[in-house]
Amino acid sequence: MIRIYLDWNMISYLKKPEFADVITFITDHRERFLFLYADAHFGDLMKSYSVDNPYFEQDLDMLDQLCANYFIGWEKERAVGYAVRPKDYFTRNYQNKDKLNYFDMDELVKLFDETGDDIGMGGLGKQFKELFSALPAAIEINNTNREQLSKFFPGITEDSTQWDLFKASGKMLEQMAGDKEYYKDLRKSIADNGFDLGKNAGNWKAEDVIANIDAYLAKSAPGLDFMGYMNKAFSLRNEKPDGMTFFTSCYNTLDLLGFKTDKLPKKTDTPMNIQYDAQHAFFAGHCDFFVVADKNLAVKSKVLYSKFNLKTKIVSPQEMVEELRQVIHTPQGKLNGYELLNSALSVFNTADDRQDFPEQQTDGGEAYSKRLNVFFLDYFNLVWLQGYPVEKKIELTFYKRPENFQRFLYYAELETIIFKMAKYLGWTLKEDEINECVRKNDPIAIKVDYDFGYILIDYEEHQGINQPTLTFGLYTERLQ
């Protein structure tokens, strides 16, 4: 299945009559696509939440129909998939729930104390506060940085403790999250203090943006590039960020530095809009396609995808159907191994992104890979050719090799591709039996012989996941 992530504007657009053809296309090819949603979608959605607002229910219905139970979240330094429908997620996490102010350190201390009491560790929050109250903030304040520090850490002095720093940071972050005028003023003060990318920055090519910022930084802070700037910011806070925090911070920093800034024009807009966009960009980086209606989000995502070497394809709402139509692929004709082979050879021959691996050659036979122009069987995107001259055999093995952040598979992705391959090989294992094997993480393997050679469904472990592979063994003498 092909993974797709939509920004919130695109999901809202799908309710409009002019996007009826997109809905029809999705419905007609539903079994090919996996639409993911994240908590950031609810950050956007909740701005219109009211029991009397019919549009809220329409948006939630659209999200629920489109994404089914494919939620993507962040847990223990990695992205994970959960089986929960948007309506159920809303009920559990947002409906009739009091929001905790995560920027208020005293509220967090109280929460830690209550949590500690529940698990037999009373006073957990108090101990946390006492520990950091005993440590100095170790911040040097001088005439050069005094004004900027007062903006970022209001009330902080050279005698302040780490706890004072936490509280001041919380106040600053709360203002940044909820007060768009404060955020705009902060963004302006950064430009006024010498960091102005210039009016032409918006015309830079996505792949050049970070390099241009690096060049700008080299003039004002020799030896410090954009990534060095980000790492230094975290080191000053004694923080080691996880992958999501680092990526979203890079996104937010682009906005703070004045690149494709979000104007926050609506009354309901807050600086959290930018954070939600950063999260959209991050989680879309686990997918094959990111459909974006917000132009600033699209450009900043392209910049970071280029820097992080992510091949997630960013497309506009108007491009979505045609772009997907070009890459979906399921063999036409009869469901048998011969049709599957013919289709595989056609896909192989039209792929042009070849990389040779001389060190992998066997007895002088060829060894190379090709990045496919389509998703073979709506799943595989890479093929490996291995030649065996002594055996007079060639093997073509198809793999799933996403060039993005993807590090897990949903059950549906595995079940769908295995069942699809099995049908072509005349395999009698039932769909519910395949599902049971997938959920137990029991590898499924089958080899079927043909007059041209054989077809093998197998598994390989890649990035900690048992991923299915499809191999065609072709004996060259039999093909003549």
Q: Write phi, then psi, for 166 (nearest 5 degrees).
A: -60, -45
The secondary structure of 293-313 as a DSSP string is: --HHHHHHHHHHHHHTT--PE
Q: Write phi, then psi, for 20 (nearest 5 degrees).
A: -60, -35
Whole-number Å distance between alpha carbons of 153 and 166: 9
Whole-number Å distance between alpha carbons of 334 and 337: 9
Divide the 480 residues of the chain into consecutive groups of 10 and give the mean pLDDT of each group.
Answer: 95 92 94 94 83 83 94 90 92 66 53 48 53 60 67 67 64 51 59 64 86 83 82 77 90 85 68 86 97 94 95 96 94 83 94 91 91 95 94 94 89 88 79 73 82 92 84 84
Residue 231: what pLDDT? 87
Whole-number Å distance between alpha carbons of 63 and 66: 5
Residue 265: what pLDDT? 65
Residue 463: what pLDDT? 77
Residue 383 DSSP symbol: E
Question: Which pair of structure tokens corresponds to residue 130?
Answer: 């006492």
Length of the chain: 480
Whole-number Å distance between alpha carbons of 341 and 425: 11
Residue 101: what pLDDT? 45
Residue 100: what pLDDT? 43
Cβ within 8 Å of residue 195, ≥6 positions away: 216, 220, 257, 258
Residue 62 DSSP symbol: H
**Residue (of 470, 382, 466) closest to 421 by Cα position:** 470
Residue 67: what pLDDT? 95
Residue 178: what pLDDT? 47
Contact 34, 2 (CB under 8 A): yes
Residue 49: what pLDDT? 76
pTM over 0.95: no
Residue 119: what pLDDT? 41
146: exposed, middle or buried (Cβ count in 10 Å: 0-12, 13-18, 19+): exposed
